[in-house]
Structure formats: C-alpha cells, structure tokens
Amino acid sequence: MAENVRVLVVDDHRIFASGVSEELSRLGGVEIVGIALTVEEAIEKARELRPSVVLLDVHLPGGNGGGGAEVAETLESLTTETGEPVRCLALSVSDAEEDVIAVIRAGARGYVTKSTTGEELAAALHKIAEGDAVFSPRLAGFVLDAFRGQAPSIPSEMDLLSPREQEVMKLIARGHTYREAASALFISDRTIETHVSNVLKKLQLTNRYELSRWAREKRVI
C-alpha cells in the first residue's frame, strides 16, 4: 500500500462517515478527500474531486430514490485526473440479496458490510482502486448466482423500485402506518410518504389498498 488511495466517503449518517474517515486516515494508505451525505452531494463531489474510490452506503436520501445504486450508475463513466475510472465500493449494514445485486448491477466493484474491520476496509479500498472486485464472504454467492441467471425470480415490476422503495412498499402493503414504517426504517414520515407516492406512480396504482392487493397477488409479502 505504497500509494495513498483517494477516497470519497458517502453515508447519510455524518457521525458514521466521520468515524470511518478518521479510522482510515489513522491506518494510513488512504487519503479522505471528502464526505457526502446525499445522492446529489455524492455525485457533485465525485465529479469535482475525482477520487479513486467512492465508498458508498446503499440507502441514501435524495436523487430519484435509487440510493447508492443511483450514485454508482451515474458515476460509471467518470474518470480520475489520471484517466483511471472512478470506482465504487458499497459499504452497508444491509446484507440483503436485493441490495447487493442492485448496487453491483449499477456498476459498483464490490460490497462489504459495516461489520468489517478498519484494516480489512483499507485493504478492500486498495484492491478496488487497482481494479479488483471485493465482497464480504457470504455476499459473493449472491452476485455469482445473479450473473449466472440463478437468482430467485421476482415480479418484473419490482425492478422498477429502488431497494429502499421495496422496503417501504412491503411495510405499507402489510398494513403498517407511515409512522410505523418510518420508525422501522429510521427515516421521517415525510420521506415514507414520498417513497409511497413514487411506488404508486411506478406501479400505476392509486392508493395503499390497491398496493396491498398487488403485493399479495404478486406474492411479495
């Protein structure tokens, strides 16, 4: 790890982003060039700073609701000042199969969970910067199965929804109130309302009762 890897840390929890930045800086071999908290801020700062790697949370506010996958897809053709591609490494508390597959399909080069150690994360960043792929052990199987065409089939309409929208949709379809869903996902009632509006629009449904019926018919709840 002779050369520092320039990293943009993206996470909507500022305390976590700051803690990761401090830990990586302490270990050495990594230069933190900035922190971003939203989809828009991540894209703007990546275009301005041209980091080697964008360390990316999966669930982010802003943008079109696509979270980390939206950032990875938008930055796919971005290059550093030396002409190398700006690569994305997902770092998330979630190890859900749909989250892993969505962000990898969007262009991320790897996915590790937040249980990883600082030393492991620093090593992963160097590997990603060098063009390798990195996954937490149990997550690699999801990706292999998905790209072999062996991933469980899901209704095609589900592909229209971001990972966060799918989470919200399932809670609301099961009868949870906006407040209950917001509490379960640690987001605001207003954000839940926005996600539900987007879900209904994408699925061409009118209200939450039609959403519940749709979800039961498609066997997604």
pLDDT of residue 154: 46
Q: Residue 214 is encoded by which pair of tokens?
A: 């749709």
DSSP symbols for the chain: --SPEEEEEE-S-HHHHHHHHHHHHHHSSEEEEEEE-SHHHHHHHHHHH--SEEEE-SS-SSTTS-HHHHHHHHTTT-B-TTSPBPEEEEEES---HHHHHHHHHTT-SEEEETTS-HHHHHHHHHHHHTT--EE-GGGHHHHHHHHTT-SPP--GGGGGS-HHHHHHHHHHHTT--HHHHHHHHT--HHHHHHHHHHHHHHHT--SHHHHHHHHHHTT--
pLDDT of residue 151: 47
Q: What are phi and psi of 104, to 5 degrees?
A: -70, -40
pLDDT of residue 162: 87
Q: What is the pTM of this model?
A: 0.66
Q: Residue 179 is encoded by which pair of tokens?
A: 């407040």
pLDDT, averaged per 10 consecutive residues of the chain (221 residues), comes to 85 94 94 96 96 95 88 91 92 85 89 92 95 85 64 61 89 92 90 93 90 84 74
CA 153 – CA 157 distance, rounded (Å) = 12
pLDDT of residue 77: 86
- 9 forms bridges with which residues in the sheet? 35, 55
pLDDT of residue 112: 93
CA 99 – CA 95 distance, rounded (Å) = 7
Question: Sheet holding 87-92: strands in order across?
Answer: 30-36, 5-10, 53-56, 87-92, 110-113, 134-135
CA 79 – CA 54 distance, rounded (Å) = 12
